[in-house]
């Protein structure tokens, strides 16, 4: 089916591949994906995301995501496979897909973070720093963090990768749930 938005996204991806230019400003229309690893992020028996999938790294308020709309699902998968660590039982399983508009509707920032990482990397910044391992957190902050994780989990769509060992994405087209009126 013909879709002007789909054609526009494809042209942006082609332009990106040709000139390696990627705007720093992330548009509301973009789609971001979070690489999902078992057993941390997903209950593989139920095929359901765990709220831990959107827990920021300790000592930060940042959740790493990739700008799928621009770099495409194949590049996202290649980056995800580089993060896999079977020795530590961190096994790639698929993607959680979010609309940037939906994340921003919850008053949560989505920012380009290519300097520290790679072109196409972004962070969801919650404004709520996760305590370092072994450091107890404030009850109020823990409650807020849990609410954010639950919210992002509820409003994302999980796509299990049908062929996780292959280097290219072979699953369905990555489309987010289009829910704009979300809040904490």
* Tens of pLDDT, residue by residue, the chain (184 residues): 567 777 777 766 666 554 556 788 999 999 999 999 988 899 878 889 999 999 998 999 999 999 999 899 999 999 999 999 988 889 999 999 999 999 999 999 999 998 777 889 999 999 999 988 888 888 998 899 999 999 999 999 999 999 999 999 999 999 998 654 444 4
pTM for this predicted structure: 0.83
Cα–Cα distance for residue pair 80/103, rounded to 1 Å: 21
Helix (H) or strand (E) holding 42: strand 42-43
- Residues 96 and 73 sit within 8 Å (Cβ to Cβ): no
Smallest Cα–Cα separation from 93: which of 44, 53, 153? 44
Domain boundary assignment for the chain: 4-160
The β-bridge partners of 67 are 32
């Amino acid at each position: 089916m013909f879709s002007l938005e789909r054609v526009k996204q494809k042209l942006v991806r082609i332009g990106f591949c040709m000139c390696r230019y990627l705007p720093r400003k992330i548009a509301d229309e973009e789609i971001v994906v979070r690489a999902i690893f078992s057993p941390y992020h997903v209950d593989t028996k139920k095929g359901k995301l765990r709220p831990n999938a959107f827990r920021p790294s300790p000592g930060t308020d940042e959740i790493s995501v990739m700008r799928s709309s621009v770099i495409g699902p194949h590049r996202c998968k290649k980056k995800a496979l580089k993060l896999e660590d079977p020795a530590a039982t961190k096994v790639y399983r698929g993607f959680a897909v979010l609309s940037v508009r939906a994340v921003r509707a919850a008053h949560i920032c989505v920012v380009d973070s290519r300097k520290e990482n790679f072109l196409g990397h972004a962070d969801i910044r919650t404004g709520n720093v996760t305590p370092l391992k072994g450091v107890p957190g404030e009850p109020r902050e823990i409650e807020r963090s849990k609410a954010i994780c639950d919210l992002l989990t509820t409003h994302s769509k999980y796509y299990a990768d049908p062929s996780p060992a292959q280097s290219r994405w072979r699953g369905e087209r990555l489309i987010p749930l289009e829910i704009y009126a979300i809040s904490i």
